[in-house]
Amino acid sequence: MTDSVTWELRGRAAVVTIRLPQVRNALGPREAALLGRTISAAAAHPDALGVVLTGEGAFSAGGDLPAIVEATEGRDAAGVSEFVYRDFQSMVRALRECPIPTVAAVDGAAIGLGLDLALWCDARFLGPKAKLAQGWATLGLIPGTGGAKVLQELLPGALWHLLGQRPMNADQAATLGVGVRSDDALAAAVDLIEGWVPVGRPALEGYAALSRNHLPDDTYLQECARIQGERLTSESFAETAQAILAR
């Protein structure tokens, strides 16, 4: 396991940490695929009752734009759709298929892809530095990891209020119902899982399976990947990306 994504057992909580603070945990295709594998590995530990997803210095500021631009060079829309589905969407499929409950501990930026990751978790704690934003639309992209549907299911109508808006802080997001405000999001997530000891893993697996009917299926994710492939190979995205990278 490389140092960019790690996991450790804290009591009965398997804590998965993104460790790319130099880019505020922005993820390229390689790191995204690694995160998906790490979530699955952490969940497989027999002593784990839940998985905590968090990040060092931030939750995740979204996709790593330079890495994404590099990955799209020389590919057509279908080729880009393929790596979006294979690599980026592997993270959210790992969360959807995780046999035990998942909890996001958000402190710092959770933007675009990062917000999607938090939304796919079964529960969310928001620390004092949390900043949440939809993010994708500013690049002319759609939520390629399925976050639009998850948000609409959790908070009907909220998506339209987030498009183009400034990031929400923890109090604003908690008021909207995105998560629970906490002075220490990671400690709160671990404590929540510790409280499940009397329930036991078999019952928790049942609760996890039954509580995820709202999450997108593979057909929806494939459609997200198709549309995102078209957007990532468009002239408008190329111009926007070049302008951002030239800053």
Superfamily of structural domain 5-194: 2-enoyl-CoA Hydratase; Chain A, domain 1 (3.90.226.10)
Determine the distance from the C-alpha atom of residue 73 to the mean position of all C-alpha atoms in its chain, rounded to a whole number.
25
Note the pLDDT tens digit of each residue in 217-227: 999 999 999 99
Whether this model's pTM surpasses 0.85 = yes
CB atoms within 10 A of CB 123: 19
The answer to whether the CB of 180 falls within 8 A of the CB of 188 is: yes
Q: Over the stretch 175-195, which tens digit does the pLDDT of each residue have?
A: 999 999 999 999 999 999 999
Task: Give pLDDT tens digits for 74-103.
Answer: 999 999 999 999 999 999 999 999 999 999
Q: Is 76 helix (H, G, I), strand (E, B) or coil?
A: coil
CB 43 within 8 A of CB 6: no
CA distance 47 to 217: 28
Going by pLDDT thresholds of 50, 70 and 90, the confidence category of residue 1 is very low
Q: Where are the domains of the chain?
A: 5-194
DSSP element (H, E) containing 5: strand 5-10
